[in-house]
């Protein structure tokens, strides 16, 4: 079993997918891009996060397609764009983009206690951090 299959199985076994759509979108991203030169565990964590809904999945898919066509070998440009996009979001989106950036930087994410995120965003952030721990363990 290759790494992407181990990752998918570990997340599935831990019941980390919100629904079948989340699971399918994540699998689609990993099936397409795990063997790309820019793939990393950090990017895999972002894939899990972006697969949460159709809108963010489409953004990730477009970004990864552009990176693949541009023959990118790392996620540096993606990371820079993440900073720009974070500033254009509402408070929930801002912190979710910050989490994604932390994943790409391979650093721990700490949500500021004064952050006024919605319960939905808090749920997404907590689940993504749990998934990240599973991905890191592989």
Model confidence, pTM: 0.95
Residue-level length of the chain: 138
Give the per-residue pLDDT at 115.
87
Give the per-residue pLDDT at 1.
81
User: Average pLDDT of 9-34?
Assistant: 97
Cα separation, 68 vs 97, in Å, equals: 21
Q: Is the pLDDT of residue 92 over 90?
A: yes
- Evaluate whether 38 touches 60 at the Cβ level (below 8 Å): no
User: Average pLDDT of 19-46?
Assistant: 97
User: Average pLDDT of 109-120?
Assistant: 90
Cα separation, 111 vs 98, in Å, equals: 9
- Evaluate whether 48 touches 131 at the Cβ level (below 8 Å): yes
Residue with tokens 């793939």: 39
Please name which of 97, 44, 39 lies closest in space to residue 68, comparing C-alpha atoms.
39
């Amino acid at each position: 079993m290759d790494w992407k299959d181990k990752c998918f199985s570990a997340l599935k076994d831990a019941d980390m997918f919100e629904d079948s759509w989340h699971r399918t979108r994540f699998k689609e991203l990993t099936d397409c891009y795990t063997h790309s030169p820019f793939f990393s565990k950090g990017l895999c964590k972002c894939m899990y996060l972006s697969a949460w809904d159709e809108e963010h999945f489409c953004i990730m898919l477009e970004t990864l397609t552009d990176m693949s066509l541009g023959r990118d070998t790392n996620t540096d440009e993606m990371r820079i764009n993440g900073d720009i996009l974070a500033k254009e979001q509402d408070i929930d989106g801002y912190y979710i983009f910050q989490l994604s950036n932390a994943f790409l930087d391979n650093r721990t994410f700490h949500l500021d206690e004064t952050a006024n995120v919605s319960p939905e965003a808090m749920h997404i952030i907590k689940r993504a951090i749990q998934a990240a721990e599973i991905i890191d363990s592989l």
